[in-house]
Chain A
Amino acid sequence: GAVVSQHPSWVICKSGTSVKIECRSLDFQATTMFWYRQFPKQSLMLMATSNEGSKATYEQGVEKDKFLINHASLTLSTLTVTSAHPEDSSFYICSAPGSGNTIYFGEGSWLTVV
């Protein structure tokens, strides 16, 4: 079946640095992908919609200059957390709609900023 792959699974970075997370659709094309974030004991919250070949759409309260999204091809979207701070430490996960109404998720990425 359709698979979405996310990398890296775990990343630790120093405060002030940037970190990139990749989301790939492995056997289908995705003109749209979605990035979610989950803080402890909270639900997955949509951060932004990644659109192939155009600008991402950010949800209210999500800083577009801090969370850079690039969707340069039909199978790859990247999320770059710029100038990361400890409060950005979280679980990030992407999804992509497949055929029918099915929406597939990556494995998620744990980010720790120290």
Chain B
Amino acid sequence: ILNVEQSPQSLHVQEGDSTNFTCSFPSSNFYALHWYRWETAKSPEALFVMTLNGDEKKKGRISATLNTKEGYSYLYIKGSQPEDSATYLCAPRAGTASKLTFGTGTRLQVTL
């Protein structure tokens, strides 16, 4: 079982603030790292799938970086909006199987 840690556990920011979260995971046997955005009562929404060391991906105001050698990924949100409020999950994959190991997530709350 992979040990996946996400920090912070929760975060409360004001609208317009930029923020970032961390996901750390074992670097051995790395295959891919998934980021999800999960709103209450909805399906987790796939944000990024990252596979290569040094990968940087962007989707609107959200971006992510990946360091597979040291085993961490950062998720950045620029100019947070209330609709960004959600739990952000990271999940590495070891090997080619589609099994994911999740961290406990970072719960983001953006207020006006």
Contacts and interface: CB of A to CB of B under 8 A. Distances in A.
Interface string A45-89: 110010000000000000000000000000000000000000000
**Size bin of chain B's contact surface:** 20 to 34
A107 B100 contact: no
Contacts of B88: none
A97 B43 contact: no
Contact of A107 (B43, B46, B103): B43
Given A43-B4, A46-B100, A4 B89 contact: no
Nearest to B44: A105
B95 to A, nearest CB: 13
DSSP majority for the B interface?
A: loop
Interface residues of A, number: 24
Among A4, A100, A103, the most chain B Cβ lie within 10 Å of the Cβ of A103
Given A9-B41, A42-B104, A103-B100, 7 more contacts: A4-B43, A44-B89, A49-B97, A101-B51, A105-B43, A107-B41, A107-B42
Interface of B: 4, 32, 34, 36, 41-44, 46, 49, 51, 89, 97-105
Interface of A: 4, 9, 32, 34, 36, 41-46, 49, 93, 95, 97, 100-108
